[in-house]
Amino acid sequence: MKKILITRKLIKSSEELASKIFETKLNKKDDLLTKDELIKKSEDCDGILSSLTEKIDADVISKLSDKIKIISNFAVGFGNIDINAAKKRNIAVTNTPDVLTDATAEIAMLILLGAARRATEGIKAVHTKNWKWTADFLMGKQLTGSRLGILGMGRIGRAVAERARSFGMSIHYFNRSRLSKELEKDAIYHKSLESLLSVSDFFSINCPATEETKHIINKEAIKFFPDGAVISNSARGDMIDDEAMVEALKNGKIYSLGIDVYNGEPNIHPGYLVLPNVFVLPHLGSATKKTRTAMANLAVDNMKDFFQTGKCKNQVN
């Protein structure tokens, strides 16, 4: 029986599934493992079921036991793992696509709405009991009839587009390549990011985290937005240059920001916590029981398939 390290606590049923298939080392206290602890705890293991909270960089991978043959990431993203370093050591890296698409798209719409309709200010007013209704009380931005720019039209981006259509929004997008007519539907493709930004009354970040996308929304990019644009990010925190965004939120170039992800989680740029036009959630994109169970089970199945066949359809390197 193969032995695996599960770095973080999973839904109970998923841990039970893993324990039927593998000899498992569980993190019952759900403590965040340091790099040294991860290396030490995995010494006698054949695989690692990791989470986004672990940064498995080239240094960590170089120190892993030769027994390790697979790192199964409990996430659709895999920016926390140096996949090239893993490949050089013949370690497969897998992810959990598809199963979290709907849940993440729902959160993308929630933060877009929360930012547009001034939810942070509204919640504060309720808690302080310091409000009274007037005709112009907390007027926000309406999605209906507006243009939504989507950065990244993969599974999640297309799911966001589908939901946004029900709000009466017109869809624009920028992607590595243009979608087929069938997948594109009525969405308008832009050949450059700058072109997309220039028409984005609302803007949703849904692309994978890569070196190319780090701080893709920076001081220069922000200049291309229409004045008063609403931005949301449900992908990865490092897509946004925080200093540039805080400044744009202060001077009104950007009307509001909705974020479910941010640099340095759980730490956050202090500017986001004091600005009234920022709506923040603590990385809840996939946080439904149905989705988290499906993700964990898929991460387990990825390891099972790999050890049985030597390959896995969700391998990313």
Q: By CB neighbour count within 10 A (0-12 exposed, 13-18 middle, 19+ buried), where does 224 fall?
A: middle
Active site residue 127: no
What's the CA gap between 173 and 117, in Å, rounded? 23
What's the CA gap between 21 and 44, in Å, rounded? 17
Which 3 state secondary structure label does DSSP give 147? strand
Which of the following is catalytic: 163, 178, 215, 283?
Answer: 283
Dihedral pair phi/psi, residue 274, rounded to 5°: -110, -15
What's the CA gap between 37 and 49, in Å, rounded? 14
Active site residue 147: no
For residue 114, the surrounding DSSP H or E stretch is helix 101-116
The answer to whether the CB of 99 falls within 8 A of the CB of 291 is yes
Long-range interactions of 237-240: CB distance < 8 A, separation 24+? 237/261, 237/262, 237/263, 237/264, 237/265, 238/209, 238/213, 238/214, 238/263, 239/205, 239/207, 239/209, 239/213, 239/214, 239/215, 240/205, 240/215
Active site residue 265: yes
Which of the following is catalytic: 8, 118, 147, 236?
Answer: 236
Token code pair at residue 132: 């009274």
Which 3 state secondary structure label does DSSP give 304? helix
Show Cβ contacts of residue 301 under 8 Å, excluding neighbours closer than 6 positions. Answer: none
User: Cis peptide before 226, with omega less than 30 degrees from 0?
Assistant: no
Q: Please give the full DSSP string across 233-292, using - where no structure is assigned.
A: E-S-GGGB-HHHHHHHHHHTSEEEEEES--TTTTS--HHHHH-TTEEE-SS-TT-SHHHH
Catalytic residues, by residue number, are 236, 265, 283
